[in-house]
Amino acid sequence: MLTSLLLLCMSGNGYADPPLSNPVPARASDLGFLAGTWRTVETVPETEESWSKPRGGTLMGTNRVIADGQTVFYERLRIEPLGEGLVYQAYPKGAEKETPFVLVKLSNQRAIFANKAHDFPQKLTYTRTGETLTIEVWGPERSFTLEMKLTKD
Tens-digit pLDDT profile for residues 65-104: 999 999 999 999 999 999 999 999 999 998 999 999 999 9
pLDDT at 122: 96
Q: Mean pLDDT across the chain, nearest whole number?
A: 87
Q: What is the CATH number of the domain that holds 118?
A: 2.40.128.20
Residue 14 has pLDDT above 60, yes or no: no
Count of domains observed in the chain: 1
For residue 69, what are the contacts with CB-CB under 8 A and spacing of at least 6? none
Residue 108 has pLDDT above 50, yes or no: yes
How far apart CA 42 and CA 121 sit, in angstroms, is 24
pTM (predicted TM-score)? 0.85
* pLDDT tens readout for residues 53-69: 999 999 999 999 999 99
Cα within 13 Å of Cα(117), Cβ side? 19
24: β partners: none
pLDDT at 19: 40
Q: What's the domain range around 118?
A: 2-150
How far apart CA 54 and CA 65 sit, in angstroms, is 24
